Amino acid sequence: MASENAPPSVVAGPEELKREWLDRLSTLVESVEEWARELGWSTRRIEKQMKDLELGSYRAPALLLQEEFTRGLLEPIYHSAPGVEGVVDLYLMPAYDDIAKLFYSDGKWSLYRMPPGVPAAGSFEEAGPGTLSRETFREVLEGMKEYDAR
């Protein structure tokens, strides 16, 4: 039997979850945009229409990146997945080649790099996580440019 003095369990509703997810995404997009610009890339913010059984329909921030003829897309995928509180992909455009996956858990974004051209199935786990930082993001962008130049 529950104690009368026990605090009520706190379960966030869909609107609160959506707000937290959009705040988390906005902060990520701002950081990536700043790093990309510092590294000489052009950026443009866009919005992606999202549909989610738990959160409903909403628009989420995304980011287009370009340096010379190399283009990328930072795209939100899911607000949650098993063990994480957010999934974002980084693609090499226009083919949507997976370059990296970003997972949010324990209050930070982790970056799983994927060399372009490598099949994605099971490979992200093999790539291992790294902390998302300006330096790791720079390395990913350099890899994108090298692959795109082939």
List pLDDT tens digits, range 51-91: 998 999 999 999 999 999 999 999 999 999 999 999 999 99
Percentage of the chain exceeding pLDDT 70: 83
Provide mean pLDDT across the span 95-120.
82
The answer to which of 21-25, 41-45, 128-132 has the lowest mean pLDDT is: 128-132
**pLDDT score recorded for residue 114:** 75
The answer to whether 67 and 40 are in contact (CB under 8 A) is yes
Q: In what order do the strands lie in the sheet with 108-113?
A: 42-52, 56-67, 70-78, 87-93, 97-105, 108-113, 129-131
Backbone angles phi, psi at 58, to 5 degrees: -165, 170
**pLDDT score recorded for residue 38:** 97
